[in-house]
Structure 1
């Protein structure tokens, strides 16, 4: 009775679709038009992906820092390492460049040789004053040599900020307006004005200007991502369409499939705009994900339609059976895949929630589009010609199916041995996987700005900001000499850490004040003694210029100070070791009962976010496995069948993780989705195979071997087509200049092959080997839900006879 009701339901669905074709096409066109109007609301994220929940302690600490000191990632640095910079023409041009940049409204301040200020003592007023290092144009080389000598030998306050004394590299620091750093204004300024002015300077002087800093890196990197998204969608569509045509040898089948997938991609962008979600490192993979899910739907529907046409030649009956039979199975595969991605919604991470919502919505949307568009368009077309059906009897495809059948029938022991070896080897590889929390690891290694990052790491020890915030718990507590000395001890450790640049803090300013008090003698660039402190502070309190400088390092109450350093591109393990060493020193020098200390900054937040993402991935995968297990239990009402069905789904994931370990591919936001995509696809194949297998059991008096081989022959071709199309489709991403995109494409491609072989060889082998344990009614009862309606199948068998 239940089976008849479900069969009747899908028969009614088929009639509704085929009787309302024009109305449905108008509705699809209307929805597509509406969603296309939402594209204008799409926007790329102008900040690094925040992988942590808003209420996470690391985010709370970072937000507290921003509220006190403002955006810390607003620094762009320019540098020249060339002795010809110190000619009259080039040095004046370098100074003019700083003035030109400083004139833009998007720029807050520029610190360079052009406007560099010296701190000097005014004995009459008993205060410190700022005096310019350079005044006006320079007319002779001797003046430049004098400036150079004074900068490198007498102004240690600016060392690491504006120059490298050993290599004589000169740097300019450009601080953008903090209000525009995380907006589209930053991108427009850098791409349309800043880059051009640098190129003009290089053309005028012949000097090679190195440019870096987080705003600059983020802008150029995001532009590369934008360029590649459209490129890879087009290439993925092109490659999959060629492979699709090679299999089906039908322009109409290829055309219909591509139209379906393209509309699905349009809907995906539309939903992103409708929900006002930013395109992030995760949501950017949704358009190609739609191709991943859409192409298998098309293959199964079109392949079934052609099988039905070949069987009886009745178009109306063929289309009705496509919807009735494959529609039900495809719904289940898409629902389970969507459920797997929907597990991200239960996490507390905003970026994960948004990805889970949009991915699950669009997976269901592409199912609906496939089920509606393919039968309706075919209903307006003539029946496929004989040449279009030849692929169903291709010798090499039949040879592949026979090879699988032979492996299952005669080489099951070898199948188990190979699977076991793969499992053990992969587990060894998993122990070699590292987690990467690097902000720049995925960036294109061949890009000019990536070379500049390495340049600044070598010359100035990094560009990624790391901040230490020291709360003295009392007003004006920062300027106490005891506090300054404690901070200086922490800074000495930072100087000794090769992964970190020399720190910048209020202690540098106090040291510079002492140097100025002693008439600029660089030997006195140090913290004052107790006796000196009173005299120097009396000068400093009268100096308005000095108080302005303090604002960058100390809050308005004088209670909280910051220590700024920059970090090299190091792995998560090294970063954690650096953090551990810092905390060990901080806990000794700045005890908790007297100071509240926070270590924060974009680099640290991103690392913590990556680890949080990995933790949530494990939870999401566990939840997805649970949901699939529940579905299998509902479908087969057999615990043993649940275990059997999960093995070919989990094994490809383990093999993929093992490959990542052996190949040195780290776990990071760009590669973490490999597991979700792989699991979703392998589950689809399992459901298709087991659905047909369950159906064959009823038709063959519960003879497992016979049912397995019949299911293998019917589903093997479609699953093989699907896997090959997706393998080449994802392989396109391997030409990407981004390491993460390249790894994602290669890993998913290989995982698809593992999943196909596991479902077509390992799964049938397990079913036959465990025949005695699962062949009775107590183990595998009448299911609660039939994925494929049996009545129609029986009718087909009768027609065959």
Structure 2
């Protein structure tokens, strides 16, 4: 009954499609237009990917910090170490640049060498005020030299903030308004206002500038993502169309396939807009992914149509059989591929969940489009000519098919030995895999802004903000001298870590206050003694420049919470875990847990913690994908024993790829973490095709194993080879990316699918032959629930056989 239902169902589908061709094409056009109108809702991510769920403890700590002190990644840095800067002409131009930057409405304020303020003591009433260090608008050479000497010798408070003594580098810090730092307005401001201004300044003054800071990095990085989407889509279309034409030698077939996948790409963009999802590094690969996965559908459908035409020449009958025979098989392979992506939906990470939803929906959409568009377009066209069918008799592929068959027949022991050696080697490599939570590692390392990142890491010991929040558990507890001394001990502790920069906190302001109290003498840049605090702190409490309380940047309004900012180099997850493990016992020794609450947070730390969380979700999602596909195949073939024989040739390529990552030093990170679920969902398609064909041949040959394996292998090798080559080169397109993670993703998936093809062509039939008595027999291969029709069988013959 299941077989009759299957044939009847697909016959009905074929009839509906071919009888309602015009209506279906109009419906597809309407859906395409509707999804096209949703493109306006597409938006690109303006923040780093948050891999953690909102309720995660690390996210909650970060949100508490933002609620108390606001956005911490809003500083754009402009620096130079040109020795000619301290000449009147260039120094005055540098100051004018800072004033121009400060004049933009998007800028809250700037701190630069020309706009520095000096803390000065006044006695009536007792107070400190910030006064301009430079009062003249333009300086002569003597004044510039005096200013330089005072800056580098007498103002240690500004070291690490506006200058570095390593190579006399100076920088201007531009604080962008916090309400636009995570919006599209930030991107427009930086790309259309800041970038041209700085380029013109370099040209006019012959000064080399280095620009960085999280707003700048994030803006240029997101722009690279935008640029690469077009590159990926164009590259995928070009590569797959060339391969398709090489196989079919038909412009008509190639153009029909390209038209189909282009509609699929338009739908994928439309779905992103319709669901109001942000385009991130992950979702950006979905449109080209649809091309790569859609082309094999086109290959199966067009190849079957041309075979039918060659066999009997009846176009209507050929189109019906294309839908009836190939539709069922293509549905199953697309469902398993979509399942590999859909497993990400169960994760609690919003980023992965959105990726899983959009990818799985669009994979099923490209199946529907292929099944509808290709038969309908061919129904309006004349029957293919003989030149369009010549590729069906190719002899060059026969050599590969013969080699596969000979190897399985005569070298099964060699296949097993090679498999075991690869497995053992891969396990060794797996133990060498590292986890990377680097926020910058995947960014294009040849880009100018990445070279600037390295410059700032060398000069200022990092640009990634790490925030330490100290809760004294009592109001105004921060300005207690005992608390300040503890914070000084913590700063000294952080300075001992070479990966971290000099910390910035209220301690520096208090030390500067003492220096100011003693008329600016730099030797008094230190915390006051218990006696000195009695007459210095009254000045400190009234510290104001007339517009805002200077303590607000470091201490909350209640005086209970203190903020300590330290910048860290771009270290990976393992290195950061080592730093944390070393710091926390000493932090708790300085700040006893029964009296103080100390937390570490910041974007970089959240990203690193998210990477660890992602690894755990990878194991869960991959396990679920394997279980779901195994259950699906067991149900399909009505044999749980078939799970073993179907999974082994698909798990081995995954282990080989993991071993390669270990040996090549490719870490587990948000981009490469997708390799396994993607590759497994796609590679299992070959297994389904082969086992379905094998079961059919087995039944025809009265369950004689050896007589069935080789014909099934010969019939499926060509289609496996074609689709694997398309997928291999299709995913290789991602290797042109400037993002290291995307490049690694493309290379690893391509390699995995190549291994999977060989594994399914060599190891799978070998296992069938070796385990024929226990697994691959009539008892275990019962009548399946779902049918994949043999290419050479007529539907009428299948129905007749079923009736008998």
Range into which the TM-score falls when normalised by the shorter chain: over 0.9
How much has 1:787 moved relative to structure 2?
3.5
Residue 436 of structure 1: how far off its partner (Å):
1.0
Query: Structure 2: how far apart are the matches of 1:52 and 1:376?
Result: 46
Q: Give the 5 Å matches for 1:512-661.
A: 512-545=512-545, 548-661=549-662
1:157 aligns with 2:157: yes
Q: Could you say which residue in structure 2 is the equivalent of 1:54?
A: 54
* Partner deviation per Cα, 1:642-692 (whole Å, 9 max, x = no partner): 101001111111111111111111111121111122111101111111111
The 5-angstrom pairing of residues 182-581 of structure 1 reads 182-545=182-545, 548-581=549-582
Single out whichever of 281-290 and 237-246 deviates more from structure 2: 281-290
Once the two structures are TM-superposed, the CA of residue 790 in structure 1 deviates from its matched residue by 10
SS of corresponding position for 2:787 = coil
* Whole-angstrom CA distance in 2 between matches of 1:774 and 1:494: 62
Asked if 1:720 is matched to 2:721, the reply is yes
1:432-474 per-residue CA deviation (whole Å, 9 max, x = no partner) reads 1111111111111111111100000000001111000001111
C-alpha contact (below 8 Å) 1:7/1:789 kept by paired residues = no
CA distance in 2 between partners of 1:292 and 1:653 (Å): 20
Rounded Cα–Cα distance in structure 1 between residues aligned with 2:65 and 2:706: 66
Question: Per-residue displacement from partner, 1:590-637 (whole Å, max 9, x unpaired)?
Answer: 111111111000110000111111111110010010001111110122
SS class of match (1:563): strand
Please give the per-residue CA displacement for 1:307-343, whole angstroms capped at 9, x wherever unaligned.
2112111111111111111100111111122122111
Q: Give the Cα separation in 1 of the matches to 2:793 and 2:694.
A: 15
CA distance in 2, matches of 1:217, 1:542: 37
CA distance in 1, matches of 2:95, 2:384: 73
Kept in 1: contact 2:405–2:713 (CA 8 A): yes
Whole-Å Cα distance in 2 between the matches of residues 527 and 580 of structure 1?
29
SS at match of 2:703: coil
- State the secondary structure of the residue aligned to 2:622: helix
697-706 or 65-74, which deviates more: 697-706
* 8 A contact 2:473–2:597 mirrored in 1: yes
Unaligned runs of 5+ in 2: none
Cα deviation, 1:463-517, whole Å, max 9, x if unaligned, reads 1110000011111111111111111111111111111110000000011111111
Q: Which residue of 2 aligns with 1:63?
A: 63
Distance in 1, Cα, partners of 2:704 & 2:794: 17
Given that residues 281 and 669 in structure 1 are in contact (C-alpha distance below 8 angstroms), is that contact kept between their aligned partners in structure 2?
A: no
C-alpha displacement of 1:231 = 1.1
The 8 Å contact of residues 236 and 292 in structure 2, kept in 1 or not, is answered as no
CA distance in 2, matches of 1:654, 1:288: 26
- Residue by residue over 1:211-239, the C-alpha shift from the partner in whole angstroms, topping out at 9 and shown as x without a partner, is 00010011111111111110111011011
Cα gap change, 1:791/1:233 in structure 2, threshold over 3 Å: closer, same or farther?
Answer: closer
Is contact 2:502–2:566 with CA below 8 Å preserved after alignment? yes
How far, CA to CA, are the matches of 2:311 and 2:188 in structure 1? Answer: 61
329-338 or 455-464: which moved more?
329-338
In structure 2, C-alpha distance between the alignment counterparts of 1:657 and 1:681, rounded to whole Å: 17
Partner of 2:737: 736
Corresponding residue for residue 128 of structure 1 = 128
Task: State the aligned residue count.
Answer: 799
Post-superposition offset of 1:106: 0.6
Q: Is the 8 A contact 2:404 2:762 kept in 1?
A: yes
Matched with 1:763 is 764
User: Any conservation in 1 of the 2:293–2:727 contact (CA below 8 Å)?
Assistant: no
Name the SS of the counterpart of 2:702 in structure 1: coil
Query: 1:544 deviation in Å?
Result: 2.9
Q: Which moved more, 1:675-684 or 1:50-59?
A: 675-684
Q: Which moved more, 1:208-217 or 1:377-386?
A: 377-386
- Across the aligned residues of Structure 1 and Structure 2, the Cα RMSD in angstroms comes to 1.6
Alignment pair present for 1:21 and 2:21: yes
- Kept in 1: contact 2:325–2:791 (CA 8 A): no
Instruction: Measure the CA separation in 1 of the matches of 2:180 and 2:241.
Output: 43
Distance change (3 Å), C-alpha of 1:796 and 1:714? farther
8 Å CA contact retained: 2:768, 2:776? no
CA distance in 2, matches of 1:374, 1:759: 28
**Is residue 751 of structure 1 aligned with residue 752 of structure 2?**
yes
The alpha-carbon distance between structure 1 residues 64 and 11, as it changes in their structure 2 partners (threshold 3 A), is same
Deviation at 1:184, TM superposition (A): 0.4
Shift of 1:795: 5.2
Alignment match, 1:179: 179
Q: TM-score of the superposition, structure 1-length normalised? A: 0.98
> How far does residue 6 in structure 1 lie from its aligned partner after superposition?
1.2
C-alpha separation between the residues in 2 aligned to 1:592 and 1:692? 67
Shift of residue 784 of structure 1?
2.9
SS, match of residue 108 in structure 1:
strand
The 2-side partners of 1:19 and 1:794 are apart by 19
Give me the whole-angstrom Cα distance separating, in 2, the residues matched to 1:440 and 1:527: 36
Structure 2 vs 1, CA of residues 787 and 377 (structure 1 numbering), >3 Å: closer, same or farther?
same
